[in-house]
Amino acid sequence: MDQSKTIVCRCEEVTLGELVAVANAYQCSSRELKLRTRAGMGYCGGRTCRTLVDAIAHQSSGQTPSHSVPLGYQPPVRPIPFDLLGGNR
């Protein structure tokens, strides 16, 4: 199985191969890798892929820059109960 085709960011459909290629080409920080590939910018806001994006950026650069900004995520504006989503009132 080709691991480079494994999807890391499900929301933006960014693969492991894309992340590694961009990280190696630009020696990106986590934030720059996120901006260049859109990984972590989908509906979940990076909750599922943030740690992998951080790890890939750290592995390609060899060190974590002290000035890097950690990836953030946006919580929902207002929680919605499940019964409202189902339409059964």
pLDDT higher than 60, residue 79: yes
Q: Which residue's structure tokens are 């920080």?
A: 29
31: closest CA among 74, 77, 7, 65? 65
Residue extents of the structural domains in the chain:
3-86
Is this prediction's pTM over 0.85?
no
The topology (CATH level 3) of 3-86 is Arc Repressor Mutant, subunit A (1.10.10)
69 versus 33: which is more confidently predicted?
33
CB 58 within 8 A of CB 64: yes
Structure-token pair, residue 77: 């504006």
pLDDT digits (tens, 9 = 90+) for 8-56: 999 999 999 999 999 999 988 888 999 999 998 888 888 888 889 888 9
> For residues 28 and 9, what is the distance between their CA atoms, to the nearest angstrom?
17
What is the CB-side half-sphere exposure of residue 11 using CA atoms within 13 A?
15
